[in-house]
Amino acid sequence: MKFPNQTLFYKGKVRDVYSIGDNKIIMIASNRISAFDVVLPRLIPYKGQVLNQIAAYMLNATKDICPNWLLKVPAPNVSIGKRCDPFKIELVVRGNLTGHAWRTYSSGQRILCGINLPEGLKENDFFPSPIITPSTKASEGHDEDISKEEIINQKLATKEDWLILEKYALQLFERGKSIAAKRGLILVDTKYEFGKIDNEIYLMDEIHTPDSSRYFYADGFEERQFKGEHQKQLSKEFVREWLIENNFMGKAGQIVPEMTDEWVNTISKRYIELYEKVIGEDFIPEELTDEETYNSIMSTLSTL
């Protein structure tokens, strides 16, 4: 697509972002899916709509905590918002020892992003309190773990900005946990991205979606932990686990395993399941043509 007054276009792993003038962006959530910083070869039906609508719901549910970029949602998989000058970091908040944190911990390491991890934890155990494990925001390749001290030393954020980012991230995580708890879920970990407009910090991008977050079912959590069983979860982690089982972790020379139609449909159903569980409403698939999407965007832009 091409829009009037378009100044930039960026194709991310799963989103297409158009800059309009100096102060607005159009973000289109595609049906692409990535894992280990690699875009997988098959599209996942309705994934873009799921991500966009969950993100819009969560941004509206947290706008009392900090300002965010969202202005309008003109189409199922499209958001229009304010253009921010982004911090080149992601703030990953973890309530449980899961995923990358567990892989680090189980390898014997006890320091993650400059944070000392307590001894004696099992996979999926709660931390004494949520921790922030930042990462660099790579335009290409893998994001890298980084400590808050390194962030400040490398001038990725000032000390004053970091204190605000840290406060916002923890408050957003608590709100996300509260929303999840009402639906019988545990928000396990998630990532936040921030930027600035006129020296004010804004929350950017998506929040609390299956691409940026991990959820466990609360019912039976303690029993599964006691028995050492896998937790029942709603997230993209099951895609990563499938890739690992098929000897792919995004490393050089590794080949993405074949994604069958059945597997693609399974992924789509899992995304829809999370939408319905988190939002508490039935998912209504919507498919607009490119022309219909374009017209909806143009109509909305004319009102902003």
* CATH classification of the domain holding 230: 3.30.470.20
- pLDDT of the residue at 139: 59
**Six token digits for residue 184:** 């019988």
Contacts of 299 (CB under 8 A, 6+ apart): 74
How remote is the C-alpha of 83 from its chain's centroid?
Answer: 19
Instruction: Report whether 98 contacts 188 (CB < 8 A).
Output: yes
Instruction: Report whether 14 contacts 30 (CB < 8 A).
Output: yes
- N-term to C-term CA, the chain: 19
Whether residue 154 is found in the same domain as residue 103: yes
- pLDDT of the residue at 149: 96
3-state secondary structure of 68: strand
pTM comes to 0.90
Domain presence at residue 248: no
- pLDDT of the residue at 142: 62
Whether residue 32 is found in the same domain as residue 123: no
- pLDDT of the residue at 143: 75
Q: Which residue has the tokens 């098929």?
A: 246
Domain presence at residue 132: yes
Total number of domains constituting the chain: 2
What is the extent of the structural domain holding 154?
86-235
Whether residue 96 is found in the same domain as residue 206: yes
**Average pLDDT along the chain, 304 residues, taken 10 residues at a time:** 93 93 95 91 95 96 98 97 96 96 95 96 97 84 85 96 98 97 96 96 94 93 96 85 92 92 94 91 93 95 91
Distance CA 130, CA 188 (A): 9
Whether residue 74 is found in the same domain as residue 97: no
Whether residue 97 is found in the same domain as residue 68: no
- pLDDT of the residue at 138: 65
- pLDDT of the residue at 211: 84
- pLDDT of the residue at 210: 83
Whether residue 154 is found in the same domain as residue 102: yes
- pLDDT of the residue at 128: 96
Domain presence at residue 242: no
